[in-house]
Structure 1
Amino acid sequence: MDYIHNVLTPPQLLRIGTSCLNDILHRLRSNSIESPKANAEFDIDRENGFLPAYPLQRLPLAFEFWERALDEASDVLGLGDDISEEALERRAGGEAWRQRIREGPLIPTHTIESDNRVLQRAHHVLAFLTHYYVHSTPPTEDGAPFVIPKTLAIPFTRISKLLGIAPILTYADTVLWNAYPINPGLPMTLDNMRFQHVFSGTDDEEEFYRTSASVELRGVELLQIIEEFHNLPNVTDNTAIWKIARDLQRVTSLIGELSDITQSVRAGCDPHVFHWRIRPWFNGSDAGGPSSPGWIYDGVDSSDRLDLSGPSGGQSTTVHTLDIWLDIDHKLSQKRHPAPSDENKRADHGFMERMRRYMPGQHRSYLEYLQNAPRSLRELARQSPALREPYNAAVMALKKFRDYHIRIACLYIVTMSKTARYSCPVIASIMKEQQKASATGPSTQMSKSDLLKRWEEYVDKIHYSERYCDDHFEYRHVILPKPLLKLVPKHYFNPDDQSTLRLLTEKEWRSIGITQSLGWVHYEVHTPEPHVLLFRRELNFQQQLAPDGRPTGQLNRNAGRK
């Protein structure tokens, strides 16, 4: 063997020595930095993410007073400003329920203060009770603050402090701690998930929660990618750069899926129903604006300083996680290129920070951990040309997600706020017919306000059946109160049989007062019972939605009469 030719040259020895020295320095730096934390330390489940792995569906027996009150609430309470005949008839029962809350026991919480899952259930129950109590109360004009009774206020604020969350209804209460598996033996999936409490009793509200839960479940993979990123031994070699680039491409795809999920809410939750029948229950102390009297928590010191704004999608820790990992600067505190637009400069730069105060404390700690992590993805992308394109693509995908979310928010809140709570083209049609009748001679007429009041009473009594399916469609029938059928305009009836409705378009059946999510088609009429309308929708309707939430294809509208 030629030993002379195997002796390393001085330059080779220098390169090897330099490499060893760099490795030693890297190990020394790594030892001086706190080791990465596992997601489980922040109450993040590997399969469910921020959704609890084993949600509790009932509190211990000592707290049965709260649970029973919540069980009763949906049966005896309605929105306090509802003046329909049915709502007025329920007011006595509603006041009796609120009186029981005021006079109920002040239950001590020390027995559950070491169990995080029980505390979460207690917060969920007390949040729903508080909002039921406030929003079922008929409005007054005295201008005084609304007082939350100490039987709710004291334990609610105590439990909230232990959880590190605001003492108000939050995103966690309506979504994270409200979901439970239909079959406890199977994993939590959209097909194996229900929501225990809904204020309005509508399918629309449950579908609204389901959309948010779908975002959380889809975000589980994102949480795993971020955990792996922080656990990489180094991020400078080619293998690590290649993995990070691949993961960024996957994150871009995941964000696109979140955008699709967010827009799919229109398939299950009608904007008008959300704005007028669901959203009022969510309102917090400041919903009436800065000049409103707000709420006072009886027996709680400095309750005027509490965070009491109510739930919002902006309280989703999944979305904040994306912001922090991609280093999105909502406060515009860092110098960036290109510079923020004038529109961005005028935005509420503190909104996202405020929303974190409504998150569970452990989830907020996770965000703080990410924010203080020594490894910056943005800086790494700046230093590594191979990462710039996938990083920029992920940021652009997140921008599109926010744009879609803003459009949905504008539709469900801004646009719907300009509509009438009980808009009814049917009333307009009746008024026209009355005007024609009065032109030909004396007639008995009702004022528009009387007609509207009567129509509202009938609409509240519309019955929606449970859904049933075959291999291609899901079906339901809608039963109109017979007096309501008499208010329907004549041109909605079959010209060959004026006692039977013809097939109605979506705009027509919505104008009667029927509220359903997108995709339902009035496909058949039943002559013996003209007040029964038969509807169907394709089973895979949600998968047919375009990015803007509209159907991409046409349903089979072949219809007939029995």
Structure 2
Amino acid sequence: MATTLTDSQKPFSLDPYHVSDVFGFILPAPLTELPPYYQPWMDIAQHVTELIYSHTLRSHILKMPLLNTRFLESHRELRLAHLALSVMTMGYVWQEGENDTVKILPRNLAVPYWKVSQRLGLPPILTHADAVLANWKKRDPHGPFDMENLELLVTLPGGDSVRGFFMVTLLVELAAVPAIKSIPLVINGVQCGDAETVTRALEEISQAMEGMTDALKLMHAYVKPDVFYGIIRIYLSGWKDNSSMPAGLVYEGIQAEPMEYSGGSAAQSSLLHCFDELLGVKHEENCGAFLTRMRNYMPSSHKHLIQDISLQPSLRGFVQQEASELLTAAFQLCVTKLMALRSYHINVVSCFITIPAARARQLRRQGNSSQEETVSRAPTALEETGTGGSGIMSFLKTVRDRTRDVSLPLDNRAMQKSTNGAQPQNTQYTTHQTHLQSNTF
């Protein structure tokens, strides 16, 4: 029987974690400009791609003044500053590819970058929180939140494909919003013993997961695999577990010893971490250690949310204790949808990394380094390793298999009832999109 929370049991809420009811983990309305004092940063950050192609980015950065970060006051100013400094850093390091990297990030870039990173609790490297969550604006402020009306604030080499990669990933984050909003309902329902509320919330979450998979499918329409593998990936790569930069990178003016940071990774998104903690998914030692380390690449408030979800009473244990067919079916449907999302991610990785990597190896064996073959320009150090430094396919398959381990047995009738049951509002990807069209951000 359902009970009410006692005075000592405060309802779980997303409010302390800077999670938006409309945008989830996405930064609402990112700034497009910094205060005039920081214009030297923006002048370079907004032209990184052209400067890389002309092989002059490094020389422009070396001429840049060393600016004080104390005039950055708001969170949005800090996020835009971190984004601008991040794309400059990635361009500076990788301007000449994997065979002519640098050992030192110059003081005029490294010092302010470090200080901004410290204030945000982010590392001094391009992260998912930068390139995706804080790197967007609407072309028409009153128009829909969709591919045709979104553009990047700053970009990297890769043309339309780099825009597509970041924007599709942004839409996956958006599709997850109904699921993130439902997490407190699940946690509070478990604490109160309210199986009906938990069931409805889990149905919301499973539908949102399906919407995330639908959004991820757009990757094939907006990103060319050879461009992603041959051009984009190196600019998302870090200096940890990367043979191109085995010693890491010295941040001049911070410390004399090199530091190592992982490149961008889908594991830096808070979404699946939240779902794993909610459902009780436990990962193997190596995978779990990598995923835990990736939490240090998230905004600190989002990292704290994941940690606090992990401290709540076990949802899976509650489902087993209640022994309700509908509740068990709703839980199992979430597990199934999460596995489907992870399986589709494996499909995407195969298309955009594994197959192009095989093509690149074939071309190298044939001695064909034609510039017409974009994949032939891909860095050999990465091969089929993720930009975050993981052995990507084995990692993803292991993570998916551990998701299966939390499955609970149920009969087919219960699953059918759950699948055909109540249809929560604003959970489908397209429905949430329609809702956003009427808002101005």
TM-score tier after normalising by the smaller chain length? 0.7 to 0.9
TM-fit CA distance, 1:417:
1.6
TM-fit CA distance, 1:68:
0.4
Moved more, 385-394 or 310-319: 385-394
Alignment match, 1:262 = 216
- Separation in structure 2 between the aligned mates of residue 221 and residue 254 of structure 1, nearest angstrom: 6
TM-fit CA distance, 1:192:
3.3
Percent sequence identity is 25
- Check conservation: 2:182, 2:204, Cα contact below 8 A: no
Q: Do structure 1's residue 223 and structure 2's residue 180 form an aligned pair?
A: yes
Distance change in 2, residues 1:455/1:351 (3 Å): closer
Alignment match, 1:519 = none
Q: Do structure 1's residue 71 and structure 2's residue 46 form an aligned pair?
A: yes
Alignment match, 1:271 = 225
TM-fit CA distance, 1:421:
8.6
TM-fit CA distance, 1:299:
1.2
Gaps of 5+ in 2: 378-428, 430-441
Alignment match, 2:108 = 151
- Check conservation: 1:286, 1:292, Cα contact below 8 A: yes
TM-fit CA distance, 1:422:
11
Alignment match, 1:493 = none
Distance change in 2, residues 1:220/1:315 (3 Å): same
Q: Which amino acid aligns with 1:382?
A: Q
Q: Which has the higher contact order (CA 8 A, sep 6+)?
A: 2
Q: Which amino acid aligns with 2:357?
A: S
Q: Do structure 1's residue 50 and structure 2's residue 17 form an aligned pair?
A: no
- Separation in structure 2 between the aligned mates of residue 290 and residue 272 of structure 1, nearest angstrom: 21
Q: Which amino acid aligns with 1:216?
A: E
- Separation in structure 2 between the aligned mates of residue 454 and residue 231 of structure 1, nearest angstrom: 57
Distance change in 2, residues 1:235/1:36 (3 Å): closer
Q: What SS does the aligned partner of 2:250 have?
A: strand
Alignment map for 1:122-201 (pairs within 5 Å): 122-137=81-96, 146-185=103-142, 188-201=145-158
- Separation in structure 2 between the aligned mates of residue 56 and residue 140 of structure 1, nearest angstrom: 36
Name the Cα RMSD after superposition: 3.1
Alignment match, 1:314 = 267
Q: What SS does the aligned partner of 1:57 have?
A: coil
Distance change in 2, residues 1:419/1:376 (3 Å): same
Alignment map for 1:1-400 (pairs within 5 Å): 30-33=6-9, 35-78=10-53, 90-91=54-55, 94=56, 97-112=57-72, 114-137=73-96, 146-185=103-142, 188-232=145-189, 235-236=192-193, 240-286=194-240, 288-289=242-243, 292-301=246-255, 304-306=258-260, 308-331=261-284, 348-373=287-312, 375-386=313-324, 387-400=327-340
Distance change in 2, residues 1:454/1:255 (3 Å): closer
Distance change in 2, residues 1:455/1:258 (3 Å): closer
- Check conservation: 1:108, 1:155, Cα contact below 8 A: yes
Equivalent residue in structure 2 for 1:418, among 346, 355, 358: 358
- Separation in structure 1 between the aligned mates of residue 82 and residue 245 of structure 2, nearest angstrom: 28
- Separation in structure 2 between the aligned mates of residue 163 and residue 355 of structure 1, nearest angstrom: 16
- Separation in structure 2 between the aligned mates of residue 216 and residue 68 of structure 1, nearest angstrom: 29
TM-fit CA distance, 1:231:
4.3
- Separation in structure 2 between the aligned mates of residue 64 and residue 209 of structure 1, nearest angstrom: 24
- Separation in structure 2 between the aligned mates of residue 300 and residue 365 of structure 1, nearest angstrom: 27
Distance change in 2, residues 1:242/1:145 (3 Å): same
Structure having the higher Rg: 1
Distance change in 2, residues 1:244/1:160 (3 Å): same
Q: Which amino acid aligns with 2:354?
A: V
TM-fit CA distance, 1:288:
2.7
More helix by share: 2
Distance change in 2, residues 1:421/1:204 (3 Å): farther
TM-fit CA distance, 1:285:
0.8
Provide, for residues 228-276 of structure 1, a one-character-per-residue CA deviation record: whole Å limited to 9, x for no partner. 334459532xxx3122112222322222222232233112212111000
- Separation in structure 2 between the aligned mates of residue 263 and residue 123 of structure 1, nearest angstrom: 29
Q: What SS does the aligned partner of 2:288 have?
A: coil
- Separation in structure 1 between the aligned mates of residue 362 and residue 113 of structure 2, nearest angstrom: 35
Distance change in 2, residues 1:118/1:283 (3 Å): same
- Check conservation: 1:245, 1:390, Cα contact below 8 A: yes
- Separation in structure 2 between the aligned mates of residue 285 and residue 368 of structure 1, nearest angstrom: 27
TM-fit CA distance, 1:382:
1.5
TM-fit CA distance, 1:406:
1.9
- Check conservation: 2:64, 2:108, Cα contact below 8 A: yes
TM-fit CA distance, 1:456:
7.1
TM-fit CA distance, 1:223:
1.3
TM-fit CA distance, 1:177:
0.8
Q: Which amino acid aligns with 1:378?
A: R
TM-fit CA distance, 1:140:
5.2
What TM-score do you get using the length of structure 1 for normalisation? 0.61
- Check conservation: 1:63, 1:107, Cα contact below 8 A: yes
Q: What SS does the aligned partner of 2:130 have?
A: helix
Distance change in 2, residues 1:39/1:98 (3 Å): same
Q: Which amino acid aligns with 2:200?
A: R
TM-fit CA distance, 1:163:
0.9
- Separation in structure 2 between the aligned mates of residue 139 and residue 455 of structure 1, nearest angstrom: 19
TM-fit CA distance, 1:325:
1.2
- Check conservation: 2:164, 2:223, Cα contact below 8 A: yes
Q: What SS does the aligned partner of 2:206 have?
A: helix
- Separation in structure 1 between the aligned mates of residue 155 and residue 274 of structure 2, nearest angstrom: 28
- Separation in structure 2 between the aligned mates of residue 233 and residue 419 of structure 1, nearest angstrom: 50
TM-fit CA distance, 1:145:
5.9
Alignment match, 1:336 = none
- Separation in structure 2 between the aligned mates of residue 320 and residue 181 of structure 1, nearest angstrom: 28
Distance change in 2, residues 1:455/1:131 (3 Å): closer
Q: What SS does the aligned partner of 1:31 have?
A: coil
Count of residue correspondences: 374
What TM-score do you get using the length of structure 2 for normalisation? 0.77
Alignment map for 1:395-474 (pairs within 5 Å): 395-420=335-360
- Separation in structure 2 between the aligned mates of residue 253 and residue 175 of structure 1, nearest angstrom: 23
- Check conservation: 2:248, 2:259, Cα contact below 8 A: no
- Separation in structure 1 between the aligned mates of residue 52 and residue 361 of structure 2, nearest angstrom: 19
